[in-house]
């Protein structure tokens, strides 16, 4: 009898949690000489619809590549091994959240045995659906071989709910960049 009530409460609690999940993945060229790449240069991208994020992405990518990966940022005149660029976009999505209470038909309800109607634990149910908007963010980091001009590594982070606070957005970008670049250079299986 209490199982249904406990299940309904748990479902309601889970549905009311904010969506903040993040997916991170990376893909790379199996033939790229990653051990030979030591320098990089930033190149701009026309696919970035939020230049606001440039201040965050650049800082955290530079830190990860220079301090954690031992690479050096250089200018075009210094013949970089790699070009680095990023793309950031958002998409508005609408989530539907349905919650309610009620037990439906049971031993006293429709189709069961007993007195029928409102008897027992059968009876009416009440459900309500609310629409909740959220903004999904897509950050893609491309690392391109400067000599072949082909992408040799791509990291992608998808944030289910981009926050509205500048400080939290910066933390989300930092988290995304570091999680992506943890996968650079790729660990090759022999």
pLDDT, averaged per 10 consecutive residues of the chain (190 residues), comes to: 38 39 91 96 76 80 96 96 91 80 54 49 69 85 97 93 71 91 85
Task: Indicate the helix (H) or strand (E) that contains 77.
Answer: none
pLDDT at 64: 96
Residue of 70, 67, 42 lying closest to 141 (CA atoms): 42
- List, in sequence order, every residue forming a beta bridge with 173; answer none if it has no partner: none
> Which overall architecture, per CATH, does domain 2-181 show?
2-Layer Sandwich (3.30)
Q: Is 157 exposed, middle or buried (0-12, 13-18, 19+ CB in 10 A)?
A: buried
Collapse the DSSP code of 137 into the 3-class scheme (helix H, G, I; strand E, B; otherwise coil) and give the result.
Answer: strand
Chain centroid to CA 139: 9
Domain ranges of the chain: 2-181
């Amino acid at each position: 009898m209490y199982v249904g009530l406990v299940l309904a409460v748990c479902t309601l609690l889970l549905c009311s949690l904010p969506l903040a999940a993040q997916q991170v993945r990376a893909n790379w060229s199996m033939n790229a000489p990653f051990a030979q790449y030591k320098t990089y240069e930033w190149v701009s991208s026309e696919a970035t619809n939020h230049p606001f994020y440039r201040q965050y992405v650049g800082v955290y990518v530079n830190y990860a590549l220079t301090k954690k990966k031992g690479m050096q940022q250089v200018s075009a005149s210094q013949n970089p091994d790699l070009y680095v660029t990023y793309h950031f976009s958002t998409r508005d999505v609408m989530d539907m959240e349905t919650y309610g209470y009620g037990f439906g038909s049971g031993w006293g309800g429709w189709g069961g045995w007993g007195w029928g109607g409102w008897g027992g634990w059968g009876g009416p149910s009440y459900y309500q659906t609310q629409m909740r908007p959220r903004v999904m963010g897509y950050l893609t980091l491309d690392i391109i071989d400067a000599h072949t001009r082909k992408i040799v590594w791509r990291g992608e982070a998808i944030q289910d709910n981009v926050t509205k606070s500048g400080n939290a957005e910066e933390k989300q970008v930092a988290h995304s960049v570091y999680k992506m670049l943890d996968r650079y250079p790729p660990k090759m299986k022999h």
